[in-house]
Structure 1
Amino acid sequence: MLSARKLLRAVVLVGLGIGLTVPAAAAQAEPSPSELTEQINKASTELEKVVESYNKLNEQLKQTKAASAALSAKMGPLETQLAQADAEVGEMAAVAYRTGQVGTASALLDGSGPLADRLGMLDQLARDRKRQLEGFTEAEQQFTEEKAKLDATQAKQTAQLKELAAGKKKIEGDLDKLYDMREEAYGSATSSGGGYTGSIPAISGKAGVAVRFAYNAIGTPYVWAAEGPDGYDCSGLTLAAWRAAGKSLPHNAAMQWDVVAHISRSSLQAGDLVFYSGLGHVAIYVGSGKVIHAPTFGETVKLSSVDMMSPYGYGRVR
């Protein structure tokens, strides 16, 4: 299939061949490089929001699955105890109150002591077991109800993930079209970037580990929903950098904002996180007014000014 630019050239050539004049407006109908860049940036921003929403739901789904698994682990022993208690109470009730097999009842009590005492002990034991069974039954009902809620939540989140995936696919399709135009205009659909070759600031502690990781990630491609080592999205990069330092962060910019300590611009130190675009983007501050971030589709992890966009806020990993 001919690209827009090639099709335009073909029309011009045909027009010249039959003596027609192509209007100047038609020759300028194709978007300019700056217009293409603006369209790509807009589509990328929209898609990044979808990706971060996908990441958030994926984190929530992980939590729901973990809670459901923990509940299921509790349910197994509880059900075993319930079955055992039910069998014991049923046996005692059958012996003492239905069958009248005093010999069997006596055997349960080692056959010692007056019969009235033994039956009294059996009755007390049965009532104790019954209370225990009732407690188990109440607990089982509570856990069953909670598990039903968790299952419903998990099903809802799974459905939402499918919806987000469908939205992502559409935007990526639109982005592919813009990349085709960018390739036609610039000769390449993506930007290339090499690794960092300068000196890495000497920063002590865990923040220093995170900052060094970020510097070493420069040049790595942006890959949606990825947390390395072959690609990163914005929150995946900050997650991976601090994971190297022994700290855990969720894979979502807004959720990272929720778990860090909020600080002022004047308190900003290397290793802190800088949030942008209504919590739709996040970067790691590396000092001297610079951040390292995974920008967007078609680009690579890079070193940028902290004011590359208007910051939403600043956070320190606890």
Structure 2
Amino acid sequence: MSSARKLLRALVVGGLTAALVAPAAAASAQPSESELTERITKSSTELEKVVESYNRLNEEIKDTKAAVADLSVKLGPLEEQLEQRRAEIGVLAAEAYKTGGLSAADALLHPGGADSLVARLGTVDHLIRDRERQISGFDEAQRELAEQKAVLDSTLAKQTAQAKELANGKKKIEADLAKLYDLRREAYGSPTTAGSSYTGKVPAVSGQAGAAVRYAYGAIGKPYVWAGEGPNGYDCSGLTLAAWKAGGKSLPHNAAMQWDATARISRSALKPGDLVFYSGLGHVGLFVGDGKIIHAPSAGDSVKLVSVDIMTPYGYGRVR
């Protein structure tokens, strides 16, 4: 074989080998820290949406449980009222038997329409008014009891469905957390970032907003805990909830619901204690003045004092 042919063959074989090896090498290349950070940020954002959905469902379940308790309280007196009506009709039936015979008693114990009832009991005129009042009360109590029981049954069914949905949501969050922690371990060598408490000067803010601001500063460095509302860890809406609880105000544990519970204000009107919303109402932080918020960022991180423009704000709310 000529030297030219040998050279050509070496180039072809070498080129083919390079073509086969290069993709494999590229496929096995480890992602850079910046690429991992980008994936972590994306996963954290998606996870926060799931967590906030979980929090909203938890708030709805609280409302459902309160409705069940309220209905249960109402049912007791209704059942007693119905029994009382039955007893009253029994007394009237006995009196009708003595006064007007078996036909009148039978009419009282088996009431039909109001018009036919009056006609059949014409022989006991002195009982008509009492009879109509008692039977009308009996029917009304029976109808109200049936309606309330139907509402209770529906609410209990809703509660069961919500509990199942909540359990499924928890499984998904735990699975997503495991993936996120693996990414953080790969990028930073640890699944979580240790935070440090705030040692600087806390701004002097008066009133209820001041109590909320001081609480938020005290939470700096504590870990993000999904569905957490303190005192050892928080998610975003759990932190704002806990801060304003210290300020004597009640907020739901969900960013979108906190948006609904607050008054709209402009950025120029921001005061310490106001809430700043992000990510299409998927995230919230507490404004503390000087262009900064305190927020619980995401899983694996800790509560931080950061610029209000850490993300593009969605809007601003004042606790009422």
Q: TM-score, normalised by structure 1?
A: 0.82
More displaced stretch, 272-281 vs 88-97: 88-97
Percentage of pairs with the same residue:
58
CA separation in 1, counterparts of 2:25 and 2:228? 44
Question: 1:97 Cα shift?
Answer: 3.1
Which shifted more, 259-268 or 129-138? 129-138
Deviation at 1:179, TM superposition (A): 3.0
How far is the alpha carbon of 1:25 from its aligned partner?
4.0
Residue 149 (structure 1) aligned with residue 154 (structure 2): yes
Gaps of 5+ in 1: 1-20, 106-118
- Aligned equivalent of 1:49: 49
Pairs within 5 Å for 1:1-318: 25=25, 29-97=29-97, 121-182=126-187, 186-318=188-320
Instruction: Decide whether aligned partners of structure 1 residues 76 and 313 sit closer, same or farther in structure 2, where only a CA change above 3 A counts.
Output: same
Tell me, yes or no, if the aligned pair for 1:93 and 1:126 is still in contact at 8 Å.
no
Residue identity in the other structure for 1:298: G
CA distance in 2, matches of 1:257, 1:312: 10
The one-letter amino acid of 2:297's match is P
What is the aligned-residue RMSD (CA, Å)?
Answer: 2.5
Helix, strand or coil at the partner of 1:274: strand
Q: Report the CA distance shift for 1:132/1:23 in structure 2 as closer, same or farther (over 3 A).
A: closer
Does structure 1 retain, via aligned residues, the 8 Å contact 2:181–2:191?
A: no
- CA displacement at 1:122 relative to structure 2: 4.3
Q: How far off is 1:192 after superposition?
A: 1.4
**Measured at CA, do residues 297 and 257 of structure 1 come closer, stay the same or move farther in structure 2, by a change above 3 Å?**
same
Deviation at 1:177, TM superposition (A): 2.3
Amino acid at match of 2:301: E
* Further displaced range: 168-177 or 81-90: 168-177
Tell me by how many angstroms 1:23 deviates.
10
The runs of 5 or more residues in structure 2 that have no matched partner are 1-20, 106-123
SS in 2 for 1:196: coil
Are the aligned partners of 1:44 and 1:296 in contact in 2 as well (CA < 8 Å)? yes
2:295/2:305 contact within 8 Å kept:
yes
Aligned partner letter, 1:52: E
Higher Rg of the two aligned structures: 2
Determine if contact 1:260/1:315 at 8 Å carries over to the other structure. yes
Letter in 1 for 2:96: A
Which residue type is aligned with residue 270 of structure 2?
L
Summarize deviations over 1:62-120 as a string: whole Å, max 9, x none: 1011011101100011101101211221232133137969xxx9xxxxxxxxxxxxx65
Quote how far apart the aligned CAs of 1:125 are. 2.5
What amino acid sits opposite 2:86 in the alignment?
A: D
Give the distance between the partners of 2:237 and 2:72, measured in 1 at CA: 32
Of 84-93 and 122-131, deviating more is 122-131
Number of aligned residue pairs: give it.
280
Amino acid at match of 1:69: A
In the alignment, the residues of structure 1 paired with residue 203 and residue 147 of structure 2 have an alpha-carbon distance, to the nearest angstrom, of: 55
Comparing 55-64 with 32-41, greater Cα deviation is found at 32-41
Contact 1:180–1:189 at 8 Å: present in 2 too? yes
Residues 181 and 300 in structure 2, CA contact (< 8 A), matched pair in contact too? no
TM-score (norm 2): 0.81
Shift of 1:56: 0.2
Deviation of 1:195 after TM superposition, in Å, equals 0.8
